[in-house]
């Protein structure tokens, strides 16, 4: 027969001082772990939200990023009339040769500089990125040295807002619009008309070409056609898979955060073990009485492990509650593909919370097992006399 859970709950409440202190220690560990998980989840989400499955991105063969790629104008001419590309109302193919460069801007709050992707859009560039919506101002007009900034760039970098002047290339550019694209990678970019930018940076070639396929089947056919054409020497993939691959930018956070959470977890395990050993010692006579009443050794073992898990779960919930107000916090890290800042939001998804609770549960299991085993092995007679 199992010992009722109420017995454990009441015991935890009776020794509330020790319970609270241990739980807070676990809470700190779980908070650190769930913070890392929320960072990774936010980063992943931002990359998943980027791109359109019908868009096909073309770069130079052998490269995996737009920044170092270059495509000549003649090659652009060769691919924009490939079969399967959608056309606009005027019958022109939806294809845009973009110029992508990286500029260094000062972060808000003076924490150093970070790179920002600056994208020169071809004539159809905006039509191909239908997800982007203007929040204020208007889209840049050609010939007037105007740019539009992603909403995340405005938040993360200093002195960037509507009407501000940015200095890059051969002079100043005016911020005339702020746009948003569902928290995707585009929110971390600055957009300008391509031809003007090409003149400023002395880069007549395109970095990449974006094509809109007429259908999903046409998209995969386009990818296949371009990849297999040996004369072109180009690399094509759907825009969504290009961004999905960049999720690996989270690898340093995952590694460093994982090591920190692991070390803290060891410390928290020892602390939980300590508390549970004290609980077992304190209740030696009680345990003996339970045994006399007919509770078996396994049920005592189970009961103490359960108590330990309850203790750390309580801590886990505390830790998560303490972090919840930071849900949605904007932060940025290096996109290892484009070598520029990727801004994203912290996301405490149900998945993150479940993982954090599982982590707390594991702490309780590991910390509680040895004390519980000792409790179940105790000699009844000596314990009663003690």
Partner 1 sequence: MTFSRFVLKNATRNRRRTLLTVLSVAFSLLLLTVLMSVWRSFYMDAGPPASALRLVARNRISLTFTLPAYDLQKIAAVPGVRAITPMNWFGGVYINHQPRNFFAQFGVDPRAIFHVYPDWQIAPAQQRAFIHDRRGAAVNRKLAAKYGWKLGRRIVLRGTIYPVNLHLKLDAIFHSTGFSGLIYHQKYVADAVSWARDNDGAFYFRVGSASDVPRVEHVIGAMFHNSSHQVKVESEKAFQLSFVSMLGNVKAFILSIGLAVVFAILLVTANTMAMSIRERIREIALLKTLGFEQGTILKLFVGESVAVALAGGILGSLLGAGMLYGIAHSPNTPMMGSSLAATPGTLVAAWAAAALIGLASGFLPAWRAARLNILQALRHVG
Of 120 and 137, which has the nearer Cβ to partner 1? Answer: 120
Decide if 172 contacts 165 (C-beta within 8 A). Answer: yes
Closest by CA position to 35, among listed 246, 313, 329: 329
Closest by CA position to 281, among listed 365, 378, 363: 378
Site for partner 1 (CB under 8 A): how many residues?
51
111 makes contact with partner 1 (CB under 8 A): yes
Residues 226-285 that bind partner 1 (CB under 8 A): 251-253, 260, 263-264, 266-268, 270-271, 273-275, 277-278, 282
| Minimal distance, residue 68 CB to partner 1, in Å | 5
171 makes contact with partner 1 (CB under 8 A): no
Of 124 and 337, which has the nearer Cβ to partner 1? Answer: 337
The first and second tokens of residue 246, run together, are: 């960049």
Range in contact with partner 1 (rule: CB under 8 A) among 85-93, 147-155, 332-340, 353-361:
332-340
325 makes contact with partner 1 (CB under 8 A): no
- Among positions 66, 181, 239, 341, the unique one binding partner 1 when judged by CB under 8 A: 341
102 makes contact with partner 1 (CB under 8 A): yes
**From start to end of 253-370, where are the E strands?**
330-335, 340-345
Of 126 and 253, which has the nearer Cβ to partner 1? Answer: 253
How far, in Å, CA of 333 to CA of 66, rounded? 18
28 makes contact with partner 1 (CB under 8 A): yes
113 makes contact with partner 1 (CB under 8 A): yes
Range in contact with partner 1 (rule: CB under 8 A) among 106-114, 174-182, 185-193, 217-225:
106-114
Q: CB within 8 A of 216, min separation 6: which ones?
A: 53, 54
| Minimal distance, residue 326 CB to partner 1, in Å | 11
127 makes contact with partner 1 (CB under 8 A): no
Of 169 and 183, which has the nearer Cβ to partner 1? Answer: 169
* C-alpha R_g of the chain: 29
- Among positions 47, 76, 168, 186, the unique one binding partner 1 when judged by CB under 8 A: 168
Q: How many CB atoms lie within 10 A of CB 54?
A: 20
Strands 146-150 and 133-137: unpaired
Of 21 and 87, which has the nearer Cβ to partner 1? Answer: 21
Q: Cα angle vertex 46, ends 220, 339, to 5°? A: 85
Residues 137-166 that bind partner 1 (CB under 8 A): none
292 makes contact with partner 1 (CB under 8 A): no
Chain position carrying tokens 């007679």: 381
Of 62 and 91, which has the nearer Cβ to partner 1? Answer: 62
Of 103 and 127, which has the nearer Cβ to partner 1? Answer: 103
How far, in Å, CA of 315 to CA of 98, rounded? 51
Of 111 and 292, which has the nearer Cβ to partner 1? Answer: 111
Q: Classify residue 323 as exposed, middle or buried by CB count within 10 Å of its CB (0-12, 13-18, 19+).
A: buried
- Give the distance from CA 337 to its chain's centroid: 15
| Minimal distance, residue 1 CB to partner 1, in Å | 30
Of 16 and 141, which has the nearer Cβ to partner 1? Answer: 16
Range in contact with partner 1 (rule: CB under 8 A) among 29-37, 48-56, 142-150, 356-364:
29-37
294 makes contact with partner 1 (CB under 8 A): no
41 makes contact with partner 1 (CB under 8 A): no
Of 53 and 270, which has the nearer Cβ to partner 1? Answer: 270
Cα-Cα end-to-end distance for the chain:
26
Buried b (16+ CB within 10 A) or exposed e, 134-151: eeebebbeeeebbbbbbb
Q: CB within 8 A of 158, min separation 6: which ones?
A: 105, 106, 107, 108, 109, 110
How far, in Å, CA of 144 to CA of 183, rounded? 28
Q: CB within 8 A of 6, min separation 6: which ones?
A: none
Please report, as ranges, the residues that interact with partner 1 according to CB under 8 A: 17-18, 21-22, 24-25, 28-29, 31-32, 62-63, 67-68, 101-104, 107, 111-115, 168-170, 201, 251-253, 260, 263-264, 266-268, 270-271, 273-275, 277-278, 282, 331-334, 339, 341
């Amino acid at each position: 027969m199992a010992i009722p859970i109420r017995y454990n709950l009441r015991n935890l409440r009776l020794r509330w001082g020790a319970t609270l202190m241990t739980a807070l220690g676990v809470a700190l560990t779980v908070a650190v772990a769930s913070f890392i998980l929320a960072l990774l989840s936010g980063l992943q989400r931002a990359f998943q939200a980027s791109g359109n499955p019908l868009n096909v991105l073309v770069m130079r063969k052998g490269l995996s990023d737009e920044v170092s790629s270059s495509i000549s104008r003649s090659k652009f001419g060769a691919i924009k009339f490939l079969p399967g590309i959608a056309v606009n109302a005027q019958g022109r193919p939806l294809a845009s040769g973009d110029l992508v460069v990286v500029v260094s801007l000062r972060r808000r709050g003076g924490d150093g500089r970070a790179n920002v992707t600056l994208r020169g859009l071809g004539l159809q560039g905006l039509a191909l990125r239908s997800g982007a919506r203007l929040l204020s101002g208007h889209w840049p007009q050609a010939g007037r040295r105007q740019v539009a900034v992603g909403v995340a760039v405005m938040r993360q970098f200093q002195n960037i807002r509507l009407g501000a002047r940015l200095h890059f290339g051969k002079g100043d550019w005016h911020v005339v619009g702020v746009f948003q694209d569902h928290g995707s990678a585009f929110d971390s970019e600055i957009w300008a008309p391509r031809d003007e930018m090409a003149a400023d940076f002395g880069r007549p070639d395109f970095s990449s070409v974006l094509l809109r396929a007429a259908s999903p089947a046409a998209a995969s056919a386009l990818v296949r056609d371009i990849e297999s054409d040996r004369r072109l020497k180009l690399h094509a993939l759907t825009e969504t898979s290009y961004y999905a691959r960049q999720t690996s930018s989270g690898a340093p956070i995952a590694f460093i955060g994982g090591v920190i959470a692991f070390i803290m977890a060891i410390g928290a395990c020892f602390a939980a073990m300590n508390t549970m050993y004290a609980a077992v010692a304190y209740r030696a006579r009680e345990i003996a009485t339970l045994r006399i009443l007919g509770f078996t050794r396994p049920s005592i073992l189970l009961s103490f492990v359960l108590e330990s898990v309850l203790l750390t779960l309580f801590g886990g919930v505390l830790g998560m509650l303490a972090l919840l107000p930071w849900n949605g916090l904007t932060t940025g890290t290096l996109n290892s593909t484009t070598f520029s800042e990727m801004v994203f939001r912290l996301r405490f998804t149900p998945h993150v919370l479940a993982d954090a609770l599982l982590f707390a549960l594991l702490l309780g299991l590991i910390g509680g097992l040895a004390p519980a085993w000792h409790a179940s092995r105790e000699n009844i007679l000596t314990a009663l006399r003690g």
